[in-house]
Structure 1
Amino acid sequence: MKKRVFATLLSGVLVASLLSGCGGSDKKAETKASGGSASASGSVYYLNFKPEADAAWQELAAKYTEQTGVEVKVVTAASGEYENTLTTEMSKSSAPTLFQCGNQAALDTWKDYCLDLTDTDVYKEMTTDDFNLKGENGEVYAIGYCYEAFGIITNKALLAEAGYDVADIKDFESLKKVAEDITARKDELGFSAFSSAGLDGSSSWRFSGHLMNMPLFYEFRDDNVTSQPATVTGAYLDNFKAIWDLYINNATCEPNQIVTKTGDESEAEFGKGEAVFFQNGTWEYSNLVVDESKGFKMNPDDLTMIPIYCGVEGEEEAGLCCGTENCWAVNSQASEEDIQATLDFMKWVVTSDEGTTMMAEQFGPIPFKNAKESENVFFTAANDYISNGKYVVTWAFNYTPNVDAWREAVVSALTQYSANNGSWDNVVTAYVNGWATQYQQQ
């Protein structure tokens, strides 16, 4: 969700340039919304924002083309570059016909390019409306095609070697106790507590987005926030600091080395048994237990996911961070033939054996009638927490204004702090002042 940029927000100048000439598209969109049979007269261009799923999408697209004769082009934006790539591609004559609209703010930007999917065949295959993005009058402009969870992926076998069980970790204090004990014995044990908290662009989203979700979630929960706020207070940034310090001081590398550590390195450290804990999401399952090309293949029985604990009162009742920014939108400005080809392709993805198999392997549960059960143990963990009455930590980072710019400032401040070249006050400034600035500039 691996990753990774989740929102698509543009400056006023870009929005004005892209949305000019869009008048009168509603009637055109209505004629394109109905279902229909696949036709080689149209083609599909999917701009994918999940680099970790690129190979799977390319293979699936090729299968569909082989079966139907319909061309399906999949282009995957580089990690952290989806906003820029979408802006560039949408300005071309051959713009994407299928793209991501990750949250309500992105929908506000792109809704004139979003087809109302209410009467389409792919929408009629859905089993829930909970993850969809809608317009003011109930139009379904983007459909959540999967849902995800993230937390601290845990190697239960290594944890047992260290003398602990997952049940021993119930809050921040117990997590801290386990992590620091492993660090104290890491030479004896042969592994560290945490994999590297890399701040390279391929990894930093895990912290500027996912870990920063923790203070955002609790602040928004206290303040009953239900839409993007103009300002944030940073009321729970001390909790963020506590878990961040635990990560970087009990890891496979020294804090001043994380600036160059990549997502692949962190994943490999965990996959090869060099660390007990690895903050990431359900999307990592395939990378860890299926794909052998990376030099490791883990036993799913050794894996689970625990909540991100950060010292908030009552957090022993918390579950995993669950939600989605995986929402498909269809370009209403494309030709009728390309829109129909795109709708047909989407329906095939969520109903065919080939499509539902890929979706189950790559994304886990999908909210469609023909969804296959996932073997993903991380989803099992998420469901177990929910069934045991734990509260879901929702995705508060969906409200981030100008997400790339805001996160970039946060990462810069975290980098300086972690290398002992800057104070924690810089992180607070990036969080609080940066939010207000980006809100005003969007």
Structure 2
Amino acid sequence: MKTTKRIIAFSMMVIFVLSAFLLSACTPKEPTPPAAGDQPPAAEEVTLNIFQFKVEIAKELDEAARAYEAEHPNVKINIQTVGGGDDYGAALRAKVQSGEEPNIFNIGGPQDVEDWMTRLEDLSDQPWVGQALEGVLSGVTVDGKVYALPFNIEGYGFVYNKAIFEAAGINAADIKDFASLEAAVKTLDGKIKAGELKDKFPNLKAAFEVAARETWVTGLHASNTAFSQEFPSSLDAYAAKSIEFKHADALKALLDLQADHSPNAKSKAKLNAVDYATQVDQGIAIERVAIIQQGNWIYGGVKAVDETVANNLDILPMPVKGVKEDSIPVGVPMYWAVNNKGSEAQKAAAKDFLNWLYTSEKGKDFIVNKFFFIPPLKGYEGLEPKDPLGQAVKRYAEAGRTMPWVFMGYPTGWGMEVLGTEIQKYLSGDIKWEDAVKNAKNQWTEMRK
């Protein structure tokens, strides 16, 4: 499918992010769109199978499903979550190939739209479409038709513990570029090694933890900092037949800074065994490390371990050395799609559930106060982010210090299976950085043929 036929005009990511936070304060409140009940599912008994990737909300999403069932006794919802250390895209393909097709599933940006087009229900007539913030639907719109509902708006960077920084005498407000970040990390590292912070933080072992086993952390999120300076949007990345990898050295600097100041600094191959739980639940949440590359989605998980620590978190920029140094990537992580292979009753119920989740008052409460999402729609006046990481993303967005998410336009599997794997080889010492970059560039070109 040609890009020129399948993609409408793209609005810059910064615009829709700013809209997310400023429209509620600057524009009159629009009428709430019809919620559940205005487009009721069929009266017959219906079972919905949801296959979703976001492990951080697995428990809360199940609670939301039970709340919906209580209002719609003819609908039964089953939810399966595959994410974290698992490849959701591969798992979804396997699920479909097995004949167990979910009624609701997740897709990314334009590349996933092409890959799954034969199973995407047209959602253009759904009430929430008119409430979407500017730009959030561009990557899932083809020939004027909208095929998915955005999960939320997220931002990521270097999440850090403010209490540890304060104890180390580091002023986070002074960190605005790579040089100041590096200086702060070296100061922190020195104080940890000297034992100066041990009394207050007995678990503290290193400045960073690096979850290199999670190739989405390295091959998608970390690499996005570099490629967001090469491509204005995911649509541009999707259209690219090759890459220059202009800022490969800046990406290397970010990776090296983390690896060189991690518990495995002297044996970096071990970083390839560090997973999300080790980085988050057994890392920053217990104050074993002070900084990790993650986003506002970790708040709920850290809160479940230690609420005091969770409320002491904030986000530092991810500086692309010599290019854009004071910003964080902000964008839409995934979208909800409805499988057009389901029965008419299943499709109706699936659409109604998603509409209920994002437009009903009970659903909005789940979105903001239980999922800790930054909403992608209007109509959430008075429901500002309450957690410190959501507030941090808001702060960056309002200051215009953001980068777009372009990794949704990478060739299918390239970010995790190619670049993420090359980064693992680099960390283990099996390959030089220059060769990792060369291999990744060649594979992009091959995968675009």
Work out the CA distance in 2 between the residues paired with 1:263 and 1:88.
23
CA contact (8 A) 1:40 1:71 kept: no
Using the TM superposition, give the Cα deviation of residue 73 of structure 1 relative to its aligned residue in structure 2, in angstroms.
1.1
Query: Does the 8 A contact of 1:147 with 1:326 survive in 2?
Result: no
Equivalences for residues 122-133 of structure 1 within 5 A: 122-124=128-130, 126-132=131-137, 133=139
Shift of 1:92: 5.4
Q: Structure 1's 98 and 65: CA in aligned 2 closer, same or farther, altered over 3 A?
A: same
Could you state the TM-score of these two structures normalised by the residue count of structure 2? 0.82
Counterpart CA distance in 2 for 1:198 and 1:330 is 32
Evaluate the alpha carbon distance shift between residue 415 and residue 128 of structure 1 in structure 2; reply closer, same or farther with a 3 A threshold: closer
| 1:145 Cα deviation from its structure 2 partner | 3.1
For residue 114 of structure 2, give the secondary structure of its aligned residue in structure 1: helix
2:359 aligned partner:
351
CA–CA distance in structure 1, aligned partners of residues 157 and 439 of structure 2: 24
Kept after mapping to 2: 8 A contact 1:215/1:239? yes
Aligned to 2:188: 182
Match of 1:426 in 2: 435
| 1:221 Cα deviation from its structure 2 partner | 4.4
Relative to structure 1, is the Cα distance of residues 415 and 93 closer, same or farther in structure 2, using a 3 angstrom cutoff?
Answer: closer
2:40 equivalent to 1:37 = yes
Q: 1:135 to 1:256 in 2, by over 3 A?
A: closer
In the alignment, the residues of structure 2 paired with residue 378 and residue 438 of structure 1 have an alpha-carbon distance, to the nearest angstrom, of 36
Equivalent residue number for residue 77 of structure 1? 82
Secondary structure, aligned partner of 2:148 = strand
What corresponds to 2:163 in structure 1?
157
String of CA shifts for 1:26-80, please: whole Å, max 9, x gaps: xxxxxxxx96224343232111011222222222222322332211111112444
Cα distance in 2 for partners of 1:162, 1:437 equals 48
Give SS of 2:336's match. Answer: strand
Alpha carbons of structure 1 residues 300 and 429: separation in structure 2 relative to 1, 3 Å: same
Where do 1:187-266 residues align within 5 Å?
187=193, 188=195, 189-190=197-198, 191-192=204-205, 194-200=207-213, 203-221=214-232, 225=236, 227-254=238-265, 255-266=268-279
Give the Cα–Cα distance (whole angstroms) in 1 for the partners of residues 124 and 182 of structure 2: 48
Cα separation, 1, equivalents of 2:270 and 2:208: 12
Cα 1:194–1:353 shift into 2, 3 Å: farther
1:284 aligns with 2:294: no
**Residue aligned with 1:128, SS:** coil
The answer to whether the 8 A contact 1:48-1:74 is kept is yes
Aligned counterpart in structure 2 of residue 146 of structure 1, from 122, 146, 152:
152
Q: Is the 8 A contact 2:237 2:407 kept in 1?
A: no
- 1:319 equivalenced with 2:327 (yes/no): yes
The answer on 1:336 being equivalent to 2:349 is no
Structure 2 CA distance for partners of 1:426 and 1:407, relative to 1, 3 Å: farther
C-alpha distance after superposition, 1:184-214 (max 9, x if no partner): 22132233553321222xx331111100111
Paired position in structure 2 for 1:399: 409
Q: Does 1:365 align with 2:374?
A: yes
Contact 2:133 2:378 in 1 (8 A): no
State the 1:331 CA deviation: 1.3
The equivalent of 2:423 in structure 1 is: 414
Residue 379 of structure 1 deviates from its aligned partner by: 2.3
Corresponding residue pairs, total: 396
| 1:86 and 2:80 are equivalent in the alignment | no
How big is the shift at 1:123?
3.1
Secondary structure class of the residue paired with 2:95: helix
Give distance in 2, aligned partners of 1:252 and 1:141. 44
Mapped contact 1:141–1:329 kept (Cα < 8 A):
yes
Unmatched tracts of structure 2, length 5 or more: 1-36, 199-203
For 1:336 and 1:215, locate their aligned partners in 2 and report how far apart those are by CA, in whole Å: 44
Give 1:283 shift: 0.5
- 1:379 maps to amino acid: G
SS at match of 1:212: helix
- SS of residue matched to 1:45: strand
1:273 aligns with 2:287: yes
Distance change >3 Å, CA 89–CA 413, structure 1 → 2: closer
The 1:263/1:273 distance shift into structure 2, 3 A limit, reads same
Q: Cα offset for 1:335?
A: 0.8
Change (3 A) 1:225 1:115: closer
* Distance in 2, Cα, partners of 1:217 & 1:368: 24
Report the CA distance shift for 1:225/1:103 in structure 2 as closer, same or farther (over 3 A).
closer
Deviates more, 1:230-239 or 1:360-369: 360-369
Matched-pair contact (CA < 8 Å) for 2:111–2:238: no
Q: Pick from 124, 145, 150: which aligns with 1:118?
A: 124
2:314 to 288, 304, 308: 304
Q: 1:162 to 1:75 in 2, by over 3 A?
A: same
**Which stretch shows the higher mean deviation, 166-175 or 428-437?**
428-437
Task: Give the secondary-structure state (helix, strand or coil) at the position aligned to 1:286.
Answer: helix
Amino acid at match of 1:48: Q
Cα distance in structure 2, aligned partners of 1:64 and 1:113? 25
In the alignment, the residues of structure 2 paired with residue 127 and residue 396 of structure 1 have an alpha-carbon distance, to the nearest angstrom, of 20
Contact 1:193–1:252 (8 Å) recurs in 2: yes
| Displacement after TM superposition at 1:428 (Å) | 0.8
Q: State the SS of the aligned residue for 1:219.
A: coil
For 1:355-392, what per-residue CA distance to the aligned partner results, in whole angstroms no more than 9, with x for missing partners? 222221324221335533321222222222232343x2
In structure 1, the residue matched to 2:71 is 67
> Retained in 2: the 8 A contact 1:114–1:329?
yes
Residue 128 of structure 1 aligns with an amino acid whose one-letter code is L
**2:46 is aligned with 1:53:** no
Partner Cα distance (1:204, 1:167) in 2? 30
Change (3 A) 1:206 1:168: same
Question: What runs of 5+ residues in structure 1 fail to find an aligned partner?
Answer: 1-33
| Code of the aligned partner of 1:131 | V
Contact 1:406 1:434 in 2 (8 A): no
- Identity in percent: 22
Contact 1:348/1:355 (CA < 8 Å) preserved in 2? yes
